[in-house]
Structure 1
Amino acid sequence: MKDILAAVTGEPLKPATVDEFVWSAEAGAVVSFHGIVRDHDGGRSVLSLDYRAHPQAETFLRQCCEEIAEATGLQVAAQHRVGSLAIGDLALIAAVAAPHRPEAFAACANLVEIIKRRVPIWKRQHYAAGATEWVGL
């Protein structure tokens, strides 16, 4: 089993940390995904987000990374932020290194999809109109 970087943190995410973790001499491609807090959702203006995680969220995140690493034989990593985030903040970083770009793109896309489906992290959106709404509960 390859080493895995999987973290749920309240600290700002640093893309270079994740990219450097997955890179190796045989990697001809590093593909990373940056999930960024945007200023809208569903036609409504968003001011900020609060992310909250289940106490075992990091375990679930690690399992997602391990699953993709096992299935592909590639080096993978992911970090998810929790706490209060502003527009433009990084909420999720996922990265995969592979000898060639098609494998790296496919594995990274699969990793992000299973993270979104399986990791128990919820967000509360704060809208410009004053309302708030939990998403993913």
Structure 2
Amino acid sequence: MKIAVQTEAFDLGAEASALAQGHRDMGAVVTFIGVVRDLAESDLDRMVIEHYPGMTLKAIQAIAEDAKSRWNLGDVLVIHRYGDLAPGEMIMMVGTVAPHRKDAFEAAEYLMDYLKSRAPFWKKEITSDGADWVAAKDEDEDALSRW
């Protein structure tokens, strides 16, 4: 299991390849990439992501361990960036490895839902009009009810 919270960009291909290696008994590798998006109405210059290091890493590890206990997984990968990120930059990556695709897809969705709502990150959008903290969304909280 690899959990990383970092400022540096990551290499999607290298991370996916490393995740898939050495799992001869696994038939599915699922990856998801989150990207900073610039909504037309926001004129986003950048997003600033902040976190509390000790708390963040422990929270993500707990979410990943929970996923491993719920699904038959061979491996889990979570990379989440923080700092100043421009539109189009990758914010995070989730990867799961499982014997079959159902477990890999469901575990990846679970990880995404819980990372979105429970990992202690704070996001601020910087636009030409100023800066605003991103509020939690009801639909993100509602997504947790299916798990």
Report TM bin, short chain. Answer: 0.7 to 0.9
In 1: Cα distance, 2:111 partner to 2:15 partner: 14
In 2: Cα distance, 1:5 partner to 1:101 partner: 20
- Asked if structure 2 preserves the Cα contact closer than 8 Å seen for 1:7 and 1:61, the reply is no
Bigger shift: 97-106 or 79-88? 97-106
2:93 is aligned with 1:93: yes
Opposite residue 64 of structure 2, the aligned amino acid is: C
Q: Report what 1:107 is aligned to.
A: 107
2:34 is aligned with 1:29: no
Instruction: Structure 1: give runs of 5+ residues left out of the alignment.
Output: none
- Asked if structure 1 preserves the Cα contact closer than 8 Å seen for 2:26 and 2:99, the reply is yes
Q: Report what 2:42 is aligned to.
A: 44
2:112 is aligned with 1:120: no
TM-score using structure 2 length:
0.81
Equivalent residue in structure 2 for 1:5, among 2, 7, 29: 2
In 1: Cα distance, 2:17 partner to 2:57 partner: 20
Opposite residue 130 of structure 2, the aligned amino acid is: A
How far did 1:118 drift? 1.2
Q: Report what 1:65 is aligned to.
A: 64
Q: 1:85 to 1:94 in 2, by over 3 A?
A: same
How far did 1:13 drift? 2.1
> SS of the residue aligned with 1:80?
strand
TM-score using structure 1 length:
0.86
In 2: Cα distance, 1:73 partner to 1:99 partner: 7
Q: Report what 1:14 is aligned to.
A: 11
Q: Tell me how many residue pairs correspond in the alignment.
A: 132
**Deviations 1:14-44 (CA, angstroms, capped at 9, x unpaired):** 2234424432112222111100001117x42
How far did 1:136 drift? 4.3
The structure where strand makes up a greater share of residues is 1
The Cα RMSD (Å) is 1.8
In 2: Cα distance, 1:105 partner to 1:19 partner: 15
- Asked if structure 1 preserves the Cα contact closer than 8 Å seen for 2:72 and 2:103, the reply is no
**Deviations 1:42-97 (CA, angstroms, capped at 9, x unpaired):** x4232211110123211111111111012113021101000111111110100001
Opposite residue 59 of structure 1, the aligned amino acid is: K
Opposite residue 11 of structure 1, the aligned amino acid is: E
Opposite residue 124 of structure 2, the aligned amino acid is: R
